[in-house]
Amino acid sequence: MNIVEISQQRYTTKHYDKTKKIPADKIEQLLTVLRNSPSSVNSQPWHFFVIDNETAKNKILPAIAEFNHPRVADSSHTIVFCVKTSLDDAHLVNLLNQEDKDGRLPSVDLKKAQDEGRRYFVKLNSSTPEAQLCWESKQAYIALGQLLFAAAAIGVDSTAVEGYDSAKMDEILGLKQKGLKSIVVATLGYRAENDGNAHRPKSRLPKEQIFTFL
Ligand SMILES: Cc1cc2nc3c(=O)[nH]c(=O)nc-3n(C[C@H](O)[C@H](O)[C@H](O)COP(=O)(O)O)c2cc1C
């Protein structure tokens, strides 16, 4: 499949075949895509909860809007995207040390510049806790987009799920104590035979309405 075909094949799965499980190697690939997702100043402000069993699914279901229950309950895997409530010094040092370990900062000057640059942009985007959360959420949504596209590329169906109660999810997963906040959910699996949405045509506004070539 070329990228246009992948983008056309990907669709929002409403009903999954509960009997079908995504093989471990494909899940590993998708988690790697999440890990490799880009983020502003490589801030990687996220944490992902991966749910692949009945107990964990039942645990989070009370936070999922009723109409979305089938997407979670019958999915093979559900991922809760979270971001950090504080991009604190410990996180910034952790990032810098990782970049150093990964060989991206061969000189002391480069390491210092990278640290200063990142701190500058973190500060710029953290005028209020809300502003920081908004900035972090944008990074998490980039990861969501990458996941949905990558899943389609390897024949895995998916659903982005905003229809959930984030305060309830945070409470169920004890996120506040972990310094995290849930942002969005994605479910993964294989479409059920009766998934009507699989056969509905895609609907998008025409090119002329969304692109301006200057
Ligand atoms: C951020 C985001 C949140 C969404 N939340 C839900 C949801 O809670 N439940 C659902 O069934 N679909 C949800 N959708 C699916 C959209 O309705 C869908 O992407 C849109 O109608 C376009 O259809 P397509 O994905 O099949 O091309 C969401 C999509 C995005 C990108």
Residue 129 C-alpha to ligand 1 middle, in angstroms?
A: 27
Task: Give yes or no for residue 202 CB within 6 A of ligand 1.
Answer: yes
Residue 93 C-alpha to ligand 1 middle, in angstroms?
A: 36
pLDDT at 36: 98
Phi, psi (degrees; rounded to nearest 5) at 79:
-120, 130
pLDDT band at residue 7 under the 50/70/90 scheme = very high
d(CA 107, CA 100): 9
pLDDT digits 0-9 by tens, 24-69 = 999 999 999 999 999 999 999 999 999 999 999 999 999 999 999 9
| Structural domain boundaries in the chain | 8-87+129-199, 88-125
State percent of the chain over pLDDT 70.
100
pLDDT at 143: 98
Task: Give yes or no for residue 159 CB within 6 A of ligand 1.
Answer: yes
d(CA 34, CA 180): 17
pLDDT at 53: 97
Q: Give the mean pLDDT of the chain.
A: 98
Q: Compute the radius of gyration of the chain from its Cα atoms.
A: 19
pLDDT band at residue 74 under the 50/70/90 scheme = very high
Residue 147 C-alpha to ligand 1 middle, in angstroms?
A: 14
What is the pLDDT averaged over residues 145-166? 98
What is the pLDDT averaged over residues 155-165? 98
Query: Which pair of tokens denotes residue 172?
Result: 């169920």
Q: Which fold has domain 8-87+129-199?
A: NADH Oxidase (3.40.109)
Of 162, 165, 185, 187, which is best to mutate to test ligand 1, by the most ligand atoms within 8 angstroms of its C-beta? 162
What is the DSSP-derived secondary structure letter of residue 50?
E
pLDDT band at residue 23 under the 50/70/90 scheme = very high
Nearest CA-CA partner of 161 in 27, 21, 12, 36: 12
Nearest CA-CA partner of 82 in 187, 180, 186: 180
Residue 127 C-alpha to ligand 1 middle, in angstroms?
A: 31
pLDDT band at residue 179 under the 50/70/90 scheme = very high
Q: Alpha-carbon dihedral of residues 174, 179, 183, 188, nearest 10 degrees?
A: -60
Q: Where are the beta strands (DSSP E) in 56-211?
A: 77-84, 157-161, 180-189
Nearest CA-CA partner of 11 in 192, 148, 207: 148
pLDDT digits 0-9 by tens, 82-110 = 999 999 999 999 999 999 999 999 999 99
Task: Give yes or no for residue 163 CB within 6 A of ligand 1.
Answer: yes
